[in-house]
Amino acid sequence: MGLLDSVLGAVMNQGQQPQSGEGGAAAGLGGLGGLMGMLASNPQLIQIVTGMLGNDGQNGGLGGLVSKFEQAGLGGAVSSWIGGGPNEPVSGEQITSALGNDTISDIAAKLGTNPEDAAGQLSQMLPGLINHLTPDGQAPQQGLGNSGDLMGMLGGLLKGR
């Protein structure tokens, strides 16, 4: 777990508190300070999100996740996270609709919380994180890489800010 420890170390050493934005929770976490605060307060999210976004994950990587959101009628929201411009917020209920009750229940069990809280955490974190992992305003055709690659990207992102 050396890489996870270094990512967490970078998060903890930044000393930044989560930012609360005026545009709601999802908008407030659009900055790295808010993302780092959320990840630092619940490090299991790092593993869950890299599993969701990694090409080797059960969702089929970023492309698979985008497809799930599009099928749930949230294509505009997820496109706003990837594109330049403001991130459209989503609710925990919308996250549950896109990912499914079983997936959210599994995530909640890993986080040690209830499904509503797990979906709420994802709704606050995913828009900003996906936005920061796609800085050119488009999803890479080959995806973000496997979970290990994504951990490296996330570590570099957190250390670089």
Domain of residue 103, CATH code? 1.10.10.690
% of the chain residues with pLDDT over 90:
37
What's the Rg (C-alpha) of the chain? 14
The reported pLDDT for the residue numbered 59 is 77
Q: Determine, yes or no, domain membership for 87.
A: yes
A 10 A CB-CB count for 39 gives 24
Q: Pick from 66, 35, 65: which is nearest to 51 by CA?
A: 65
- Predicted local confidence at residue 104, as pLDDT: 97
Query: Domain of 136?
Result: 45-160
Q: Would the pLDDT of 135 be above 70?
A: yes
Q: What is the pLDDT of residue 32?
A: 57
Residue 7 lies in a domain: no
Which pLDDT belongs to residue 10? 38
Give the pLDDT score at 39. 61
**Interval 17-21 mean pLDDT:** 34
The pLDDT, as a whole number, for residue 129 is: 84
Q: How confident is the model at residue 66 (pLDDT cuts 50, 70, 90)?
A: very high
Q: Kindly state whether residue 97 falls inside one of the protein's structural domains.
A: yes
- C-alpha span between 128 and 133 (Å, rounded): 9
Average pLDDT estimate for 14-19 = 34
Residue 90 clears pLDDT 90, i.e. is over it:
yes
| 19 is a domain residue | no
Is pLDDT of 120 > 80? yes
Does 74 map to a domain? Answer: yes
Q: Tell which wins on pLDDT, 97 or 160.
A: 97
In our burial notation (b when 16+ CB lie closer than 10 A, e otherwise), range 46-55 reads bebbbbbbbb
Residue 154 domain-assigned (yes or no) = yes
Contact criterion met (CB below 8 Å) for 121 and 45: yes
